[in-house]
Amino acid sequence: MSTLIIVNPHAGNGRAGRLWSRIEPLLWEALGDLVIAVTQRPEEVAKRLRESIDMGLKRVITVGGDGTNHVIINALADLAERQPDLPLPVLGSLPIGTGRDWARTVGVPFDPEDAVRWLAAAQPRPVDLGHLAHSKGAFHFLNIASAGIGGEVDARVNAIRHRRAWTFLVQTVGALLRYRPRFVRVMLNGETWYEGTAFIVVVANGRSFGHGMYVAPDARIDDGLFDVVVVEGMSPLEAIPALPSLYKGTHLLRSDVHHTRAADVRIESPRGPLDLDLDGEYSLAEDLHFTVRPGLLQILSHPAAEES
């Protein structure tokens, strides 16, 4: 089986480009016949995918980070909407980016050589995609979307050229010191569920964001539901000491954190647009409507690893 490899050489502060010479021969050995596409711009991805489908390729693997995955799943979803009868390739991910949160959810090893072996033994399985329609357009997401402080953290992190393992934590603390919780109304399946100030409203398909913050530790990628988490507004002196609980997933035990599941989520902000995080990509919008697209995509996975 031929496999399309989409390489983002800029992922992980250029780490993907630096590691490519070591990874490429491993991929040839583990996966067989390859078609290599090095993409410099997001708009190149859709073209490469269309070409690969025309060639009969049934598997595509990204070498990059969560941002690379975000681009490719939107390209795949766009193809699915334009041509519903078109068989989409199975998607795999070799995580080289900074956050690598989707890899945490699915269980892909961080070591590139281990990840190649993991992908070679993986099997296709259907997963859900999230869909967000708002005042400025519509997008799909694979892992997690959020409204509130997560968008500001994205903007801070994406402005840093050379990122380190601690970059997300440092920028999160900086954002907490500056960000002012916003008044929001969260509606689930047409009924108001939460109304008040919030640091963040998370709509999760996957489990973690922000380089290992397990904001939705019980989320499943194939249950047809989002895990929805609201963190109430509080002072920085309260919020910063609570950060370790996010990395453990124990924040859900707090009385000022609310969580549930739903397939249809609306977020309204009467006082203007909200900062958005969409698989690590920043935007600003209002009138947010999230819906689940059950089983829209097939990914390479080891289900037992994701259950653990």
pLDDT tens column, 43-94: 677 788 888 888 888 899 988 877 788 888 998 998 888 888 888 899 999 9
User: Is there a domain that residue 57 lies in?
Assistant: yes
- In this structure, are 285 and 136 located in the same domain? yes
- In this structure, are 91 and 159 located in the same domain? no
- In this structure, are 106 and 196 located in the same domain? no
CA distance 161 to 15: 12
The pLDDT tens digits of the residues spanning 131-179 come to 999 988 999 999 999 999 988 888 888 778 777 777 888 888 998 888 8
User: Is there a domain that residue 304 lies in?
Assistant: no
The pLDDT tens digits of the residues spanning 191-228 come to 999 999 999 999 999 999 988 899 999 999 999 999 99
Q: Looking at residue 75, which CATH number applies to its domain?
A: 3.40.50.10330
- In this structure, are 156 and 271 located in the same domain? yes
Read off the tokens for 277.
Answer: 């995080």
CA distance 107 to 92: 12
Read off the tokens for 228.
Answer: 């929805």
Identify the DSSP state of 169: H
CA distance 264 to 221: 15
CA distance 137 to 276: 13
Domain containing 185 equals 132-293
Residue partners of 224: CB distance under 8 A and separation at least 6: 128, 263, 292, 294, 295
Judged by average pLDDT, the poorest of 22-36, 182-196, 213-227 is 22-36
* Total number of domains in the chain: 2
Which residues face 148 on adjacent strands? Answer: 200
pLDDT at site 266: 98
Identify the DSSP state of 207: S
- In this structure, are 286 and 152 located in the same domain? yes
- In this structure, are 111 and 143 located in the same domain? no
CA distance 213 to 120: 28
The answer to whether 129 touches 148, Cβ cutoff 8 Å, is no
The secondary structure of 31-60, three-state, reads: HCCEEEEECCCCHHHHHHHHHHHHCCCCEE
- In this structure, are 147 and 49 located in the same domain? no
User: Is there a domain that residue 306 lies in?
Assistant: no
- In this structure, are 114 and 27 located in the same domain? yes
Read off the tokens for 122.
Answer: 């993986």
Domain edge (last residue) among 92, 122, 152: 122
User: Is there a domain that residue 83 lies in?
Assistant: yes
- In this structure, are 154 and 258 located in the same domain? yes
User: Is there a domain that residue 267 lies in?
Assistant: yes
Amino acid at 251: H
CA distance 123 to 202: 29
Q: Looking at residue 136, which CATH number applies to its domain?
A: 2.60.200.40
The answer to whether 280 touches 99, Cβ cutoff 8 Å, is yes
Identify the DSSP state of 222: T
- In this structure, are 111 and 201 located in the same domain? no
CA distance 200 to 210: 13
User: Is there a domain that residue 302 lies in?
Assistant: no
- In this structure, are 76 and 146 located in the same domain? no
User: Is there a domain that residue 298 lies in?
Assistant: no
Question: What distance lies between CA 111 and its chain's CA centroid?
Answer: 20
Domain edge (last residue) among 78, 104, 122: 122
Other CB atoms within a 10 A radius of the CB of residue 29 amount to 10
- In this structure, are 153 and 282 located in the same domain? yes
User: Is there a domain that residue 127 lies in?
Assistant: no
Domain edge (last residue) among 122, 150, 173: 122
CA distance 194 to 267: 10
Task: Please classify residue 184 by burial: count the beta carbons closer than 10 Å to its beta carbon, then call 0-12 exposed, 13-18 middle and 19+ buried.
Answer: buried
The pLDDT tens digits of the residues spanning 108-127 come to 999 999 999 999 999 999 99
